[in-house]
Amino acid sequence: MRHLAIAVGMLALGLTASTGARADFAVVKFKDTGACRTWKAGDKPWGKYQVLWVKTSSAAEAQTKGAWAMKHHWCKAWW
């Protein structure tokens, strides 16, 4: 019984260690210029900014959301 518990514990530990790290991205708008860009969600940009979307799963998805913001005139430029 102890061997089974150890095996299950090692299997669970191995599965959690094998999952990939997820880098979340955000779309931020800088208030001084009105420009938007993709930013890593954990980092904070310099200056005054507004977060338009938080925790998109990939940089490509954040780019898509930024294109939507540009189309709807939420942003003046895209960096």
Residue-wise pLDDT tens digits, 8-67: 776 666 666 555 556 789 999 999 999 999 988 778 888 899 988 888 888 899 999 999
Say whether pTM exceeds 0.75: no
CA distances from 27 to 4, 5, 8, 20, 33 (A): 47, 45, 41, 22, 15
Q: Provide the domain limits for residue 54.
A: 22-78
Tokens of 43: 């980092």
In a domain, 7, yes or no: no
pLDDT value of position 53: 85
In a domain, 72, yes or no: yes
Task: Pick the more confident residue, 78 or 41.
Answer: 78
In a domain, 52, yes or no: yes
CATH code of the domain covering residue 42: 3.90.820
